[in-house]
Structure 1
Amino acid sequence: MQRPPNKNQATTPHSRPAAPSVARGGMTLMVVFVAVCLNLRVAFSGVGPLIPAMGLDQVSATVLTTVPPLCMGLFAPLGALARDRIGEERGLFAAMIALTVGIVIRSVGLGGLFVGTVVASAAIAVLNVLTPVLVRKRFAANRVGVTMGVYAMLMGASAALTAAVTVPLYQSTGSWQIALGVAVIPAVLGLAALPTQLRVPHISHPPTAKVSWTGLLRNPTAWAVTGFFSIQTLLFYTLVAWLPAILVAAGSDPATAGTSFALCFIGVAVGGFLGPAWAGRRESQRLPILVTIVLCLVGLGGVMLAPAATASLWAILLGIGLGAGQGVPGILYVRRAADHRQTAQLSSMAQAIGYLIAATGPVLASALHSATGNWNFALITLIVLLLVNAAFSPRAGRGTT
């Protein structure tokens, strides 16, 4: 293990992270971890299918789907702040309270829909930042990869399940508020589980020991991590918003497009587990980064060029790449940082910048579609961004400085 850097340096330690400094808590900690991970995307995945039932116009619908990544970018720095002030466990608990409140507000009606989405998105921003820090702090170093794989897999699987049950629930109740409100169930489970961790002591550090963005913004490795996450997340949110429409325009019927979309989310869960599990076993993550990008390139190329009859195959491959692209960055936050504090700072920097960039994806893709009358130019733009990612992101995976 390299010696810790000065406060203005982001590191790329060659060896594995230091052993956890806090008792791991065994099965109880794992239950808490699972309960938290189930909440990281559930609040968002049911919105898209219910937009027609809400009676929103195109502008309002676009705003509603743009708010989550935008807010997760804007509020990501709160994660590092919460970690410094009250610790990971208490920060997660506070964020879970806010998430529960946001889900309840969102289900009140159209007025609460947007306010509640902002509150829920801010809470998830904090959860996103603190979860990798908790993994580094509380789990054994040789289990970080698998644990982050579980983290990403649960995000994808819970989102897919929520998307699958939302419309049937709406059809059976006639209320989109009830259908959206189902997301409060995992939030309450998280609230019930987290108090078991509140007795873990938070160790305060003097201001001179804290790592700020100032040093990270001057560090090429930190920017490589941020760039990889930014482009992969832009791709993820763009395709979550428009993949069914892209498949229909390519010749699939709506039912087949819906099936392919569901298969894509299954791929997200698979890639979300396999990507970090593989990356976590390696000193260098350059190859997992490149394989992630290649899977996305192949999937996008197939969606754009292959016959509609094979859409499900390309959707699955694309989903595996998208899932790995959401999970592997968690390994990079842990491996490229020297300690818990720097993990929080790198995680918050990458996610703040990355989600703000990702929020532009669905809007720009829609604008390109409107301007050209097809999705080809938008897909070509995504492919170009992936090629840029392949050129510059491997630095984020280097096991040495």
Structure 2
Amino acid sequence: MEKKINKVLLLGIIFVAMNLRSPITAVGPLIGIISDDLILSGGQAGLITTIPLMSFAIISPIAPKLANKWTIEKTIFGALIVLVLGMFLRAIPQLTFLFLGTTLLGAAIAICNVLIPGLVKKEFPHQSGLVTGIYSVSMNLTGAIASGISIPLVRKIGLDWNVALGLWSILALTAFVCWLPQLKRQDKEVQEMTPQENSSIWTSTLAWSVTLFMGIQSFIFYVLVAWLPEMLVDKGLSTIQAGGMLSLLQMTLLPITFIVPIIAEKRPNQKSFVWVSFLLFAFGILGLMGNNMKIVSLSIMGIGIAGGIAFSLSMMFFNLRTTSAKQAAELSGMAQSIGYLLAATGPFLFGFLHDVTKTWQSSLIILLMMTSILLIVGLNSAKKRVI
């Protein structure tokens, strides 16, 4: 019986995960079209991606408290309702509804982002690497598909940009239905989740290293989700080709996000993964500074592998560096709050620097600097120890 319940829970986690990137990555290739239609500046366009990250930063610390009051299962269910509402509002082609809907879906995604690692640690204690891999692949696969088909939906099929974005509400509704069985679950351990250990989390140098690692890898990823297509269009690619390149980046993530958690869980430390991620990030960003499209393509794949490693490590650190599901949720809340607050500055800063300098070089130099910091905090996070 327990095995059947776990399968149903795993299916629910997969469908929830499928909604944690696609609502955001679907926007990146459409930013130019949305900007033209709504007459947005570069800074305003960057806010389309920045707003969800700000929601992540504000809502993440609240998520464990909501789970303490209503249980993880019911809290995620409520988040799915908010997600569907946010996606419907975002589909209304007006600036106010675009920002309001984006804010709501960002809040919903934040809750799920924080609570699922703790749920995985509690329900799959001996298979957390495997389940994290499945969860990560589900999230990144739909994220890649969303960025890859957004432009074809508009250019080839002829949908308006808001309709193309609104279609993703179907996936959110599917997750809502798949999560219904979890409302029957009653778990006392979840209800005992309290902020009593917050002081040890917030004063821990290890927790801050994990937090900064989470934030910097998110900073790099969301900058590229928002601006890589526009950057490549400036290099001479069509909008469809540029969207395909963003999809390529995310498709490269997929095998990495499945394999790395399984291997990393069994290693005494994860320093070698941090080094590989750093080197590939640096290679990829330097490659984007040039105009040789073969090198640019290889660079994008390198960034995809690096991002896959860094993201996987971020998710695994929540489990590997904690001793309980409660502590894992608290670390997840801290890391995703501060981390996404840091990441939220990325798309806006990237767009602002481009508006000022009329080139992408300054923005890419910022990414190189962030990559160096990623190495330092990553090596500290990768040591075998717990908070």
| TM-score, length-scaled by structure 1 | 0.87
Which string of whole-angstrom CA distances, capped at 9 and with x for unpartnered residues, describes residues 143-164 of structure 1?
A: 2112112222221110121222
Aligned partner (choices 4, 14, 21) of residue 41 of structure 1: 21
Alpha carbons of structure 1 residues 199 and 393: separation in structure 2 relative to 1, 3 Å: same
Larger proportion of helix: 2
Tell whether the 8 Å contact from 1:24 to 1:139 is kept in structure 2 after alignment.
no
**Structure 1 match to 2:309:** 324
Asked if structure 2 preserves the Cα contact closer than 8 Å seen for 1:152 and 1:273, the reply is yes
Matches within 5 A, 1:199-210: 199-203=184-188, 210=195
- Which one of the candidate residues 123, 126, 151 is aligned to 2:108? 123
C-alpha separation in 1, matches of 2:73 and 2:230: 41
Which residue number corresponds to residue 6 of structure 1?
none
Q: Determine which of 12, 18, 31 is the counterpart of 1:51.
A: 31
Which of 96, 101, 106 is 2:90 aligned to? 106
Percent identity of paired positions between Structure 1 and Structure 2? 30
| Equivalent AA in structure 1 for residue 24 of structure 2 | F
CA drift at 1:173: 4.9
CA distance in 2, matches of 1:23, 1:214: 37
Q: Cα deviations across residues 222-269 of structure 1 (Å, max 9, x unaligned)? A: 0110011111111111111222333455x4533654443221121122
Aligned residue number for residue 204 of structure 2: 219
Listed as ranges, the matches of 1:269-308 within 5 Å are 269-305=254-290, 307-308=292-293
Query: In structure 2, what is the Cα distance between the partners aligned to 1:248 and 1:52?
Result: 10
Q: 1:73 aligns with which of 57, 62, 65?
A: 57
Provide the rounded CA distance (Å) in 2 between the counterparts of 1:348 and 1:178. Answer: 33
Q: Distance in 2 between matches of 1:66 and 1:206?
A: 32
Distance (whole Å) between structure 2 residues aligned to residue 350 and residue 73 of structure 1: 9
Distance in 2 between the 1:257 and 1:184 partners? 24
How far, CA to CA, are the matches of 1:75 and 1:41 in structure 2?
17
Aligned residue in 1 for 2:130: 146
Change (3 A) 1:252 1:317: farther
Residue 11 of structure 1 aligns with which residue? none
Name 1:14's counterpart in structure 2: none
Say which SS state the counterpart of residue 211 (structure 1) adopts: helix
**In 2, Cα distance between equivalents of 1:259 and 1:41:** 17
* Aligned with 1:367 (options 337, 341, 352): 352
Mark the CA change 1:359 to 1:322 in structure 2 (over 3 Å): closer, same or farther: same
Contact 1:153 / 1:269 at 8 angstroms: preserved in 2?
yes
Q: 1:189 aligns with which of 174, 199, 218?
A: 174
Q: RMSD of the alignment, in Å?
A: 2.3
Which residue does 1:158 correspond to in 2?
142
Give the whole-Å Cα distance in 2 for the aligned partners of 1:136 and 1:70: 26
Cα distance between partner residues in 2 of 1:244 and 1:50: 9
Q: C-alpha distance in 1, partners of 2:376/2:106?
A: 32
Is the alpha carbon distance of 1:367 and 1:131 closer, same or farther for their aligned partners in structure 2, counting shifts above 3 Å? Answer: same
Q: State the shift of 1:95 in Å.
A: 0.9
- The equivalent residue for 1:391 is 376
Structure 1 unaligned regions, length at least 5:
1-21
Alpha-carbon distance between aligned partners in 2 of 1:208 and 1:276, rounded to the nearest angstrom: 25
Residue 260 to residue 105, structure 1, CA distance change in 2 (3 Å): closer
Query: Unaligned stretches of 5+ in structure 2?
Result: none
User: Any conservation in 2 of the 1:268–1:320 contact (CA below 8 Å)?
Assistant: yes
* Aligned residue pair count: 378
CA shift, 1:32, in A, is 1.0
Match of 1:354 among 339, 342, 351: 339
- Cα drift, residue 318 of structure 1: 0.7
Name 2:161's counterpart in structure 1. 176
Match of 2:221 in 1: 236
Q: Determine if contact 1:146/1:280 at 8 Å carries over to the other structure.
A: no
Deviation at residue 286 of structure 1 after TM alignment: 2.3
Q: CA deviation at 1:187?
A: 1.0
| Residues 1:372 and 1:49: Cα distance change in structure 2 (over 3 Å) | closer
Q: Find out whether 1:94 has 2:78 as its counterpart.
A: yes
Contact 1:211 1:345 in 2 (8 A): no
* 2:364 equivalent to 1:379: yes
Which residue type is aligned with residue 328 of structure 1?
A: L
Q: Which amino acid aligns with 1:291?
A: V
- 1:134 corresponds in structure 2 to 119
CA offsets, 1:281-304, max 9 Å, x none?
A: 323222222222222122112222
Distance 1:137 1:182, change over 3 A: same
Q: Is the 8 A contact 1:152 1:272 kept in 2?
A: yes
Aligned residue identity for 2:85:
V
Tell me, in whole angstroms, the C-alpha distance in 2 between the residues paired with 1:87 and 1:198.
Answer: 9
Deviates more, 1:81-90 or 1:352-361: 81-90
Relative to structure 1, the CA distance from residue 285 to residue 26 in structure 2 (aligned partners, 3 Å threshold; closer, same or farther) is same
Question: Given that residues 247 and 311 in structure 1 are in contact (C-alpha distance below 8 angstroms), is that contact kept between their aligned partners in structure 2?
Answer: no
The C-alpha deviation readout for 1:360-386, integer Å capped at 9, x for no partner, is: 112222233334332222222211221
Q: Alpha carbons of 1:375 and 1:281: their partners in 2 closer, same or farther (altered >3 Å)? A: same
Moved more, 70-79 or 46-55: 46-55
Structure-1 separation of matches of 2:12 and 2:56: 22
- Taking the aligned partners of 1:378 and 1:47, their CA distance within structure 2 comes to 20
* 1:260/1:107 CA distance change after superposition, 3 Å: closer
- Structure 2 CA distance for partners of 1:266 and 1:175, relative to 1, 3 Å: same
Following TM superposition, by how much is the alpha carbon of 1:390 offset from its aligned partner in structure 2, in angstroms? 1.1
Q: Secondary structure of 1:77's partner?
A: coil
Distance in 1 (alpha carbons) for counterparts of 2:129 and 2:190: 28
